[in-house]
């Protein structure tokens, strides 16, 4: 697929190719009253030197975020910084990133990728947690195993982003129906709240947001125990402002980097519906 075809799909959802461009977008997000998390695009890196270069860029991002006084933390994909090579390589690189998170009193989120990496990602998370408490992970509501993972990992200081999951997974590993995935999302939210953990509700599904709000209000879930999270550039028809005005925290996930092309092609292959979604939004005001 040539870049000229993919770029219109990527442009609204990628915050530039450089850290300077991305941090300018983060500043604008902060000025709207929202928090941010930043991610360098890329995954499944097979070269040690490249993985270590990406690691160095993440370390430097913590310095830049601190210098610019931004309300922003960092999310990383473990296979981007070594897990595709080996668990040992990922441990070394992520520990280095974590040291910078600690030095700048910031937060690090480990993104969750497809299921061959789930156990190793949780192993890395436990290692990180033994070094620095201000670290979190992701659980995917389409995986059958996620509720048990939450039960095993949850503690008062546990911090998890709940998302539906984007990777193609076999029926043996994952729910296939959208309603099942949404139901499990709510189940995971309830489980985290019961444990006193902090949750990031990462979804653009307006019906799911309505269900979460109804549960939050009925159970009087404290607003300092959760936040809503969305992807940069995805239109939400004023919903973010509405949530902010209700006193809820909003965090925008901001991806950037020169690997936007490979990232976009993979996303389109994994979920062809994205193309229709983007086209619809490109022409919604025509």
Catalytic residue list: 111, 161
Phi and psi at residue 273, to the nearest 5°: -65, -20
- Enter the tokens of residue 273: 């519906």
Phi and psi at residue 177, to the nearest 5°: -85, 140
Phi and psi at residue 251, to the nearest 5°: -125, 135
- Enter the tokens of residue 29: 């997000």
Residue pair 185/203 in contact by the 8 Å Cβ criterion: yes
- Enter the tokens of residue 276: 């229709």
Helices 146-153 + 118-131 axis angle, to 10: 20
Instruction: Name residue 227's beta-bridge partners.
Output: 200
Residue pair 136/159 in contact by the 8 Å Cβ criterion: yes
d(CA 238, CA 32): 12
Torsional class of 82: left (φ above 0), alpha (ψ -120 to 50), beta (otherwise): left
Residue pair 36/255 in contact by the 8 Å Cβ criterion: no
Helices 19-31 + 48-67 axis angle, to 10: 40
């Amino acid at each position: 697929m040539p870049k000229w075809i993919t770029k219109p799909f990527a442009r609204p959802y990628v915050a530039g190719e450089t850290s300077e461009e991305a941090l300018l977008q983060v500043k604008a997000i902060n000025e709207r009253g929202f928090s941010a998390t930043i991610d360098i695009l890329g995954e499944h890196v097979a070269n040690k030197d490249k993985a270590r270069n990406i690691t160095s860029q993440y370390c430097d991002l913590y310095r830049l975020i601190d210098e610019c006084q931004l309300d922003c933390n960092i999310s990383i994909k473990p296979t981007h910084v070594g897990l595709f090579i080996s668990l040992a390589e990922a441990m070394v690189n992520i520990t280095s990133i974590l040291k910078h998170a600690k030095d700048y009193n910031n937060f690090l989120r480990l993104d969750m990728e497809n299921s061959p990496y789930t156990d190793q990602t949780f192993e890395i998370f436990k290692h990180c947690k033994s070094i620095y408490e201000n670290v979190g992970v992701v659980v995917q509501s389409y995986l059958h195993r996620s509720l048990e993972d939450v039960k095993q990992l949850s503690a008062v200081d546990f911090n998890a982003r709940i998302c539906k999951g984007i990777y193609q997974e076999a029926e043996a590993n994952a729910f296939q129906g959208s309603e099942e995935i949404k139901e499990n999302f709510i189940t995971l939210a309830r489980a985290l709240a019961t444990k006193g953990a902090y949750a990031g509700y990462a979804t653009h599904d307006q019906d799911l947001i309505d269900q979460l709000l109804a549960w939050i209000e009925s159970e009087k879930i404290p607003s300092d125990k959760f936040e809503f999270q969305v992807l940069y550039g995805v239109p939400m028809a004023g919903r973010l402002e509405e949530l902010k005005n209700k006193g809820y925290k909003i965090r925008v996930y901001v991806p950037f980097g020169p690997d936007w092309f490979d990232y976009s092609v993979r996303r389109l292959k994994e979920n062809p519906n994205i193309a229709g979604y983007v086209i619809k939004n490109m022409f919604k005001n025509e």
